[in-house]
Amino acid sequence: MAAAVVRGREILASVVHAQIEVHAPYGGVVPELASRDHVRWVSQVVGEALRCANVTPAQLGGVAVTAGPGLVGSLLVGLCFGKALAMRQGVPVVGVHHVAGHLASAELADERLAAPYLGLVVSGGHTALYRIEADGPPALLGETLDDAVGEAFDKVAKLLGLSYPGGPAVAREAEAGDERAIAFPRPMLGEPNLDFSYSGLKTAVALQVEKRRAAGALAARDVADLAASFQAAATDVLVTKARRALRREGLGRLAVVGGVAANQRLRREIEAAARADRFLAVFPPLALCTDNAAMIAAAGARLLLRGEFDGAGLGTFARAPVHAR
């Protein structure tokens, strides 16, 4: 659950109520627990954001809410609260696609990022490349055909007996490992398209874990090497496909957004590619990589400036392409 107040590119307040402790015992998000926690905290989180921004509800120019995709139960909590707040203040409400929010987070972070640019979205639910124009919705260039890269990090962490969330846990473990120890496949790297696939890589890790456990206990060195080798394989594909998309589209700016954008190896490799290929690479600060409300507010403000908003009939959606907005 998160709430923020944004004015232009300025974030006046951004409050996030994390649910890591709620879901950690289960190794992943439990939808029912997530929505119940949202109900408990939504009013307090919104109130705290307004207090931190020193803004009253009457001063709001509009309300942006995440309409999807995502867990419908959790989405409904925020949507109902947002619509009620907008109706009470007599301001427009606008539903934002979660991916459009992530893309907007990069524009909040760096004024040099201007359309047209390439957006690489890497999170627990999304792995995709978009062409971003000044007007109109993002154009999808390629996406994962199965698992998202963030989901693969979570599953690999569980296989290795690491903590949740998996992305930071695998990255920490990888620091002590040799990324060349295991030659994991780079799925779809040789394919000429811009799509991704992480199911096979996840299976390859599972087979290596099973092999080592069959031969005895999974040693600490094994875990570190497996984490490092997986991380290298997962991020190498992202870097290669992003470079390919930039060349194909004739673009000179790249925004890398989503939870996996916090991965330091991915950042290093993208920055090295930017120096070699001479393009601008923008990463949001770590606080804007994971899910937050500032990015939703920024994306919503853009829609409102274009005269696009919703009414009381605004609903949620579990899955929909970002261009559906």
Between 169 and 20, where is the model more confident? 169
Q: What is the mean pLDDT of residues 297-318?
A: 88
Q: What DSSP line would sit under 64-122, residue for residue?
A: EEEEESS-HHHHHHHHHHHHHHHHHHT--EEEEEHHHHHHHHHHHH-TT--SSEEEEEE
Q: What angle do CA 284, 271, 138 make, to 5 degrees?
A: 50
Between 182 and 291, where is the model more confident? 182
Q: Any residues with CB less than 8 A from the CB of 166 and at least 6 apart, and which? A: 153, 154, 155, 156, 157, 158
- Fold identical between 2-101+289-324 and 114-287? yes
Q: What is the mean pLDDT of residues 37-60?
A: 94
CA distance 200 to 192: 18
Domain 114-287, architecture per CATH: 2-Layer Sandwich (3.30)
CATH 3.30.420.40 fits 2-101+289-324, yes or no: yes
At 292, is the pLDDT very low, low, confident or very high (cuts 50, 70, 90)? very high
What pLDDT, on a 0 to 100 scale, did the predictor assign at position 111? 86
136 pLDDT more than 90: no
Q: What is the mean pLDDT of residues 184-209?
A: 96
The residue written with tokens 């939808």 in the block is 31
Q: What is the mean pLDDT of residues 259-277?
A: 97
102 pLDDT more than 70: yes
Written as six digits, the tokens of 68 are 């999807």
Query: For 80-94, how does the pLDDT look when each residue is reduced to its tens digit (9 = 90+)?
Result: 999 999 999 999 999
Query: Phi, psi at residue 300, to the nearest 5°?
Result: -65, -40
Fill in the amino acid letter for 49. Answer: A
Query: Phi, psi at residue 177, to the nearest 5°?
Result: -105, 175
Domain boundaries, the chain: 2-101+289-324, 114-287
Q: What is the mean pLDDT of residues 117-145?
A: 92
Fill in the amino acid letter for 180. Answer: R
At 323, is the pLDDT very low, low, confident or very high (cuts 50, 70, 90)? low
Query: Phi, psi at residue 205, to the nearest 5°?
Result: -65, -45
At 293, is the pLDDT very low, low, confident or very high (cuts 50, 70, 90)? very high
Q: Percent of the chain, pLDDT > 70?
A: 98
At 290, is the pLDDT very low, low, confident or very high (cuts 50, 70, 90)? confident
